[in-house]
Structure 1
Amino acid sequence: MRLENVEPPSGLTTDEFVLRPILATDAELDYAAVMESRDYLRTWEQSSWPADDFTVDGNRADLEGLEQRHQDRKAFTYTVMNPAGTECLGCVYLMPTDTRTFAQAHITPVGDQRWDDYAAAVYFWVRKSRLALGTDRVLLDALRSWLTRDWTLGGHLFLTNEQFTQQVGLIEQTDLQLRFEILEKDKPGKYLAYD
């Protein structure tokens, strides 16, 4: 199933957070979360993003692109806000598995799974100050239920980078199983895909 044929849910509300499509108007709150978490986001992204001189305006431009991709159903990005909507707690991204990034990557199955059986790759991060509170585990558990209950994706994978050991450890404490190792060109660490 292709993402453009998917009707994305409007979001998810729990006692701990509100998940909703990201908007360019979220730039300032999102920026605060990104910059607080920049050291580990660079490991997660396997890039120099966000740079130390990244600005709110630069972030707004990024969010405009994400908002448009969401509207066009090319990829889906959700912001994770506190219940009051006054603090960004992180982000969730759903990317199609047939995107050019994956087509150009070296994907190795771990077992007999087939990449083509999965429609979406799900990435998420939680701001650094919320890790000690276990917000990432609460989010992961909620995402697993939400993706099964409210989406029509079919197969989906949770992806993280092997060098982001905190998130790898989080995922491996669940019953999710490693299905694929993904090596992208010019990136030093492998991405790990679980379902």
Structure 2
Amino acid sequence: MRLENVEPPGGLTTDEFVLRPILATDAELDYAAVMESRDYLRTWEQSSWPADDFTVAANREDLEKLERRHADRQAFTYTVMDPAGMECLGCVYLMPTDARSFAGARITPVGGDHRWDDYAAAVYFWVRRSRLATQTDRLLLDTLRSWLARDWSLGGHIFVTNEQFTQQVELIRHTDLELRFEIEEPDKPGRYLAYA
């Protein structure tokens, strides 16, 4: 199953946060979360994004693309907002496992005969730096796991992070998720780790 055949849920509301499709109009709130968290997002992304001179206007352009890709079912992006909708707490991305970024990567199964094409989506997420101390990232991961199992028709999905983003790697290691793949992209120094 590919993402174009998936009907994405409209979102999810819990006592702690609201997940909903990201919109270009979220640019200012998203920008505040991105820039607060830029040091570790660079590690997570394995890139120089976001640059110190990144602007709200540039962020709006990025969100316009994400909103369009969501509508076209090429990939799904959800913003994580506080219940009042006044603060962006982070972001969740569901990418198809046949995305271009994976096509040029070396993907190595770990500890078994796992097949990459058994999984329809790679799930990435981040939480703004000021919310890490309150374990919002753990709460988000737990919520995503139940939401994906209950409300999505994805079939197989994996959670992906970068080995150099040690805080998130440790978070995932303290669950029952198991490392299934190591992903090496030719232009990035750190490996990505995929768990299911």
Same fold (TM over 0.5): yes
Instruction: In structure 1, list runs of 5 or more residues that go unmatched.
Output: none
* 2:123 matched residue in structure 1: 122
TM-score of the superposed pair, with normalisation by structure 1: 1.00
* 1:142 matched residue in structure 2: 143
* 2:133 matched residue in structure 1: 132
Q: Does structure 1 residue 165 correspond to structure 2 residue 166? A: yes
Separation in 1, partners of 2:96, 2:75: 7
Separation in 2, partners of 1:80, 1:67: 14
- Tell me by how many angstroms 1:27 deviates: 0.1
- Please give the secondary structure, in 2, of the residue aligned with 1:29: helix
- Tell me by how many angstroms 1:166 deviates: 0.1
* 2:188 matched residue in structure 1: 187
Separation in 1, partners of 2:77, 2:182: 23
* 1:17 matched residue in structure 2: 17
- Please give the secondary structure, in 1, of the residue aligned with 2:154: coil
Equivalent pairs counted in the alignment come to 195
Separation in 2, partners of 1:156, 1:172: 17
Instruction: In structure 2, list runs of 5 or more residues that go unmatched.
Output: none
Separation in 2, partners of 1:181, 1:193: 6
- Please give the secondary structure, in 2, of the residue aligned with 1:144: helix
Task: List structure 1 runs of 4+ shifted beyond 6 angstroms.
Answer: none
- Tell me by how many angstroms 1:112 deviates: 1.2
- Tell me by how many angstroms 1:83 deviates: 0.1
- Tell me by how many angstroms 1:60 deviates: 0.2
Separation in 2, partners of 1:49, 1:74: 22
- Please give the secondary structure, in 2, of the residue aligned with 1:8: coil
Identity value in percent? 84
- Please give the secondary structure, in 1, of the residue aligned with 2:84: coil
- Tell me by how many angstroms 1:185 deviates: 1.1
Separation in 2, partners of 1:132, 1:160: 19
Separation in 1, partners of 2:155, 2:128: 29
Separation in 2, partners of 1:116, 1:70: 21
- Tell me by how many angstroms 1:103 deviates: 1.0
Task: Provide the aligned C-alpha RMSD in A.
Answer: 0.3
Separation in 2, partners of 1:174, 1:116: 24
* 1:84 matched residue in structure 2: 84
Separation in 2, partners of 1:193, 1:17: 25
TM-score of the superposed pair, with normalisation by structure 2: 0.99
Q: Deviations over 1:55-110 (max 9, x none)?
A: 00000000000000000000000000000000000000000001111111000000
Separation in 2, partners of 1:32, 1:9: 26
